[in-house]
């Protein structure tokens, strides 16, 4: 089976690489920047010179793009993907996207006999390399079941959450929760440290709590590897994309008349960080604003460092 993959950035490249490593598949790739595909091409992927060329070769096509604007342009813009997809093709968008845009494009795809799934992921580049990724999928049951084996090559957890668009609703909501928890943690930890708790002891307590619930707070986790080390480049997840995800959450909250005061505060905090020129830094750099306000630095050398 030939699989197409569009968008070979920070996340897309490693997701495509997992498909390429499966001997049952052949992989066709496309990106506006051919340089982004050089490692995949070296390892055996087929380069498509255009979306048309990719669409004509593949039964299932995946895309992973920075956001709604790029995805809409790629699918429905001049010489967009939808013009070239064959009837019966399954198109899976992994972009963290606007649910309304997904449903709109899904309707256009359906009119052409194309099955669309939205399948954003929870995880980052490092977790994909480790084979740990959760994929939340919206769409009809039949194309989901057909495409599930392909998605399971990229993610160890593939969960259908409902009709088209609900994958992005789930991702936006859970992503906002995850990112807001980071910022709330910054408030709590700066208070504890300034009130006299040793940071290393506090982290030890957190590790013990985490080991009894959601997994270890170890040095590979986002906070210890970034904020606690003061290392925000290279980024696991760009701050500009975090802000985009907050904006998507805000739009979803407004459209459903759901108050979201705390998440809105976190969104404004992220915007302030963007205004410092940190758009391509790791998103946890936002917590340094709380450090500055508190005159406390949360820096910690692990026992193995």
Q: What are the domain boundaries of the chain?
A: 2-162, 169-294
Phi, psi of 234 (to 5 degrees): -70, 155
pLDDT digits (tens, 9 = 90+) for 127-155: 888 889 999 999 999 999 999 999 999 99
Q: Assess contact for 56 and 49: CB atoms under 8 A.
A: no
Catalytic residues: 171
What is the number of other CB atoms lying within 10 angstroms of the CB of residue 2? 14
How does residue 269 score in pLDDT terms, banded at 50, 70 and 90? very high
pLDDT digits (tens, 9 = 90+) for 245-257: 999 989 988 988 8
pTM for the model: 0.85
Given this structure, which CATH class describes domain 169-294? Answer: mainly alpha
Q: Which CATH number fits domain 2-162: 3.40.50.720, 3.90.1150.10, 3.40.640.10, 3.40.50.10860?
A: 3.40.50.720
Q: How are the residues of the chain apportioned to helix, strand and coil, as percentages rounded to the nearest 5?
A: 50, 15, 35
Prior bond of 234 cis (ω within 30°): yes
């Amino acid at each position: 089976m030939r699989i197409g993959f569009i968008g070979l950035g920070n996340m897309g490249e490693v997701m495509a690489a997992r498909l390429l490593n499966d001997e049952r598949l052949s992989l066709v790739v496309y990106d506006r920047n051919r340089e982004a595909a050089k490692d995949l091409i070296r390892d055996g992927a087929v380069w498509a010179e255009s979306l048309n060329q990719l669409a004509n070769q593949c039964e299932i096509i995946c895309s992973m793009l920075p956001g709604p604007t790029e995805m809409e342009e790629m699918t429905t813009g001049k010489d967009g993907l939808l013009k070239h997809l064959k009837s019966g093709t399954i198109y899976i968008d992994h972009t963290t996207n606007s649910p309304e845009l997904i449903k709109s494009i899904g309707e256009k795809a359906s009119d052409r006999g194309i099955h669309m799934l939205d399948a954003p992921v929870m995880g980052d580049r490092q977790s994909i390399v480790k084979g740990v990724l959760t994929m939340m999928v919206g769409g009809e049951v039949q194309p989901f079941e057909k495409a599930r084996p392909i998605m399971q090559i990229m993610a160890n957890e593939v969960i259908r959450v409902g009709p088209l668009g609900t994958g992005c609703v789930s991702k936006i909501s859970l992503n906002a929760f995850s990112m807001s928890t980071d910022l709330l943690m910054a408030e709590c930890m700066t208070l504890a440290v300034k009130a006299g708790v040793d940071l290393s002891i506090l982290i030890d307590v957190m590790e013990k709590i985490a080991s009894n619930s959601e997994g270890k707070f170890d040095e590979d986790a986002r906070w210890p590897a970034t904020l606690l080390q003061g290392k925000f480049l290279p980024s696991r997840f760009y701050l500009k994309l975090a802000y985009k995800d907050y904006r998507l959450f805000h739009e979803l909250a407004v459209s459903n008349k759901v108050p979201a005061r705390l998440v809105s505060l976190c969104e404004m905090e992220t915007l302030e960080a963007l205004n410092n020129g940190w758009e391509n830094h790791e998103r946890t750099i936002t917590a340094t604003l709380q450090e500055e306000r508190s005159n406390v630095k949360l820096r910690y050398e692990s026992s193995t460092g």
